[in-house]
């Protein structure tokens, strides 16, 4: 995987980030979702690099080979604000003060928080199979609760850890033929690590508590995304079925939104990498045409 890419670990004080990066040109950060690692991008990242981008793929805080702080009752150490700070610090470490940003699933929640908290750092943002957490919760009717019950199960103290760690292979099911053998092996190692499992649960616990409050504060203050925004959704997933037009929802949050569906299941980077990469390359094309002010002097 990731031929020609480098790997590094960035010390972030209370946390550390495992990062893959490669290519040349304006930078783009790819943020994975649950329960994947940065390896989920192994088919997409080389296509973006070949199109003229530096591509940076971190493991989110606590996922994969990244590590976070001790767990606390308020879950703040795994809030999207904390994880967004990790990404900004990683990019500064690599020499970039401004970058494009792509977030899938839970990575989309991080991308939203990063773009709202650090608007000068983000030139363009893409949300793939992702909505603001509060938009999910405000629409949590019977269908949502039935299909997305794991959100509320993960929020319970202690019980999810015991259930998942008793047989992680049965809980987290993945197909090596679909995922790619190396991606699958990396993901399987991560999901067998009790510390990773706990951190992934903390992601969801933060989502229903501190992250929800942060988004509610944004809405009350009228904060919006001002950079160009792309939303993509998998046509064989349930996002559109549950919520209707994702574009209409994102227009409540962003000034300049475009988007479309992709013929894929939920893990679009693994199932439809060429179509996803094309959508990203088309959206990021202005980055290649503008003055390269993304580089740090």
pLDDT number for residue 292: 54
6-289 under CATH 3.20.20.70, yes or no: no
pLDDT for 186 equals 98
User: Which candidate in 34, 118, 184, 266 is catalytic?
Assistant: 266
Choosing from 105, 129, 211, 237, the catalytic residue is 105
Is 129 an annotated catalytic residue?
no
Residue 205: predicted pLDDT: 98
pTM score: 0.96
Region 141-160: mean pLDDT is 91
What percentage of the chain reaches a pLDDT higher than 90? 90
* Residue 122 backbone zone (phi > 0: left; psi -120 to 50: alpha; other: beta): beta
What's the pLDDT at 144? 84
The fraction of the chain above a pLDDT of 70, given in percent, is 98
Place of tokens 């792309």: 230
Task: Tell me if 129 sits within 8 A of 33, measured CB to CB.
Answer: yes
282-292 confidence digits (pLDDT tens):
999 998 887 45
Helix (H) or strand (E) run with residue 36 in it: none
Hey, is 125 helix, strand or coil?
Answer: strand
Respond yes or no: is residue 266 known to be catalytic. yes
Q: How far apart are CA 112 and CA 219, in angstroms?
A: 13
CA distance 60 to 86: 8
pLDDT digits (tens, 9 = 90+) for 86-133: 999 999 999 999 999 999 999 999 999 999 999 999 999 999 999 999
pLDDT at 190 (0 to 100): 98
Nearest to 215 by CA among 91, 74, 73, 115: 115
* E strands present in the chain: 6-11, 16-22, 27-31, 54-58, 99-104, 122-128, 229-234, 257-262
Mean pLDDT of the chain: 95
Q: What's the CA gap between 112 and 127, in Å, rounded? A: 8
């Amino acid at each position: 995987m990731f031929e020609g890419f480098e790997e590094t670990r960035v010390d972030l004080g209370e946390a550390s980030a495992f990062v893959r990066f490669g290519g040349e040109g304006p930078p783009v950060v790819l943020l994975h979702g649950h329960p994947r690692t940065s390896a989920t991008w192994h088919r997409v990242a080389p296509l973006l690099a070949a199109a003229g981008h530096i591509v940076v793929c971190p493991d989110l805080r606590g996922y994969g080979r990244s590590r976070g702080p001790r767990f606390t009752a308020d879950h703040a150490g795994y809030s999207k604000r904390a994880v967004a700070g990790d990404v900004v610090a990683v990019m500064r470490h690599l020499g970039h003060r401004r970058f494009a940003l792509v977030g899938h699933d839970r990575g989309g929640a991080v991308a939203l928080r990063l773009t709202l908290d650090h608007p000068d750092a983000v030139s363009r943002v893409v949300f793939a199979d992702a909505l603001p957490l509060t938009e999910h919760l405000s629409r949590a009717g019977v269908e949502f609760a039935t299909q997305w019950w794991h959100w509320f199960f993960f929020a319970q103290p202690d019980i999810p850890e015991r259930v998942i760690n008793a047989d992680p292979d049965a809980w987290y099911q993945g197909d090596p033929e679909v995922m790619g053998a190396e991606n699958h092996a990396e993901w399987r190692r991560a999901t067998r690590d009790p510390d990773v499992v706990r951190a992934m649960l903390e992601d969801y616990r933060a989502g229903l508590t501190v992250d929800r409050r942060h988004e509610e504060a944004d809405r009350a203050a009228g904060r919006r995304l001002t950079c160009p925004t792309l939303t993509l959704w998998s046509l064989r997933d349930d996002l559109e079925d549950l919520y209707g037009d994702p574009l209409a929802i994102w227009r409540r949050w962003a000034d300049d939104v475009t988007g479309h569906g992709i013929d894929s299941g939920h893990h679009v980077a693994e199932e439809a990498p060429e179509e996803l990469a094309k959508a990203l390359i088309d959206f990021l094309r202005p980055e290649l045409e503008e003055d390269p002010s993304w580089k740090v002097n």
